[in-house]
Structure 1
Amino acid sequence: MHNAEWQEDNEADHDSAIHEARLWRDDGWTARVIRNEDGEGWAVEMIKDGEAEPALVGPWTMGRDKKNPKPLDTPAFHTLVKTAAEVLRRHEQQLHAMLHKSVAVNAATGTITVALDIVPDEDDPYALLSAQDEDGAQLAEVRVLPSFKLTRSSAEKWMESGFRKPAD
């Protein structure tokens, strides 16, 4: 099979591995060496299979001729996968921290954990305010605006109200 036919077959089958100087697809990731937007030098973008946007775009090393990019290889690809996966993991942690908050409040019956879980629905975003006892039993849950500010003070006020829905 000619190289062009092999490349066409592999591009048609997204799951097939490709190991070329400027395109490397394997293990659920694609590394593509591209020219920098300013036309100076080279960059590499890492795209996770199924995603539209790159998880990582970074500078890429020039080759020995100082004009063309250094070819991709196995060690470089594995390093890029590790780095891109870490970027995604940090992004997911940051998003989780933005959407899920909790505070512990001491009560006569023990420690109550009050949580705010924001649901970023495009049409109707909202948040769920909930309370759990030390054993994890749910004491209350109400729907609130996604802009509700969960603090120790707001959690205590909600508990003191008998878990009535806070005013918007």
Structure 2
Amino acid sequence: MTDSLPAMLPDSGANEPEAIQDARLWRKDGWTARVIKNEDDDGWAVEMIKDGEPEPALVGPWTMGRDKKNPKPLDTGAFNTLVKTASEVLRRHEQQLHALLHKRVSVRHEAGDIDVTLDIVPDEYEPYAMLTALDAYGEQLGQQRVAPTFKLTKACAEAWAEGGFGRIG
């Protein structure tokens, strides 16, 4: 029996937590699903936590078991569906954050089509934004640091281009 012991021990070089597949707790592929008592009513909830994250990516209702008291046990199909749903929630959150921090408008100018981008840097102490103008070939025509509250509109981008990409405001 002692010969099989080393094969059962996890790889000491691996950083990934050991897989768990219990009725109320599954951990696999960087995700943990935990069935918890729903604080709002007599039912159950499931939370999905991505490894390394402090908060769950997804919390939702969980089905009661046949006895109508205890939760239905987690299984492979349910876990895979929860991982897919939680991943989609995170992806949408990242897209929303990107949309808030990165704006782009295109304008016509005598030099050709120009893309003007506004990239907000949400620094905790000194947030700022970078306004950048690029030509159709991706060459930078101008760049300026602006307030993180700067509103990028087509009209202000056109005015900046007409002014030769000098200081705004």
Select which of 137, 162, 165 maps to 2:164: 162
Select which of 34, 42, 46 maps to 2:44: 42
2:67 and 2:167 map into 1 onto residues whose CA distance is 68
Q: Are the aligned partners of 2:109 and 2:161 in contact in 1 as well (CA < 8 Å)?
A: no
Select which of 59, 65, 68 maps to 1:66: 68
The root-mean-square deviation of aligned C-alpha atoms, in Å, is 1.4
> 1:60 is matched by which residue type in structure 2?
W
Q: Are the aligned partners of 1:112 and 1:134 in contact in 2 as well (CA < 8 Å)?
A: yes
SS in 2 for 1:67: coil
Identity of aligned residues (%): 69
Select which of 24, 27, 38 maps to 1:25: 27
Residue in 1 that maps onto 2:138 = 136
Residue in 1 that maps onto 2:6 = none
Q: Which moved more, 1:35-44 or 1:76-85?
A: 35-44
Offset, 1:163: 1.0
Residue in 1 that maps onto 2:152 = 150
SS in 2 for 1:24: strand
Q: Could you state the TM-score of these two structures normalised by the residue count of structure 1?
A: 0.90
Offset, 1:14: 5.7
2:40 and 2:135 map into 1 onto residues whose CA distance is 57
Unaligned runs of 5+ in 2: 1-8
Q: Which moved more, 1:152-161 or 1:82-91?
A: 152-161
**1:90 maps to 2:127:** no
- Aligned residue pairs total 157
Residue in 2 that maps onto 1:4 = none
1:92 and 1:142 map into 2 onto residues whose CA distance is 26
Offset, 1:37: 1.3
SS in 1 for 2:89: helix
Select which of 98, 101, 121 maps to 1:99: 101
> 1:114 is matched by which residue type in structure 2?
V
1:38 and 1:89 map into 2 onto residues whose CA distance is 27
2:16 and 2:68 map into 1 onto residues whose CA distance is 32
After TM superposition, what 4+ stretches of structure 1 lie above 3 angstroms from structure 2? none
Residue in 1 that maps onto 2:78 = 76
Select which of 51, 55, 58 maps to 1:56: 58
Task: Please give the per-residue CA displacement for 1:111-153, whole angstroms capped at 9, x wherever unaligned.
Answer: 0000000000000000000000000011111100000000000
2:30 and 2:167 map into 1 onto residues whose CA distance is 45
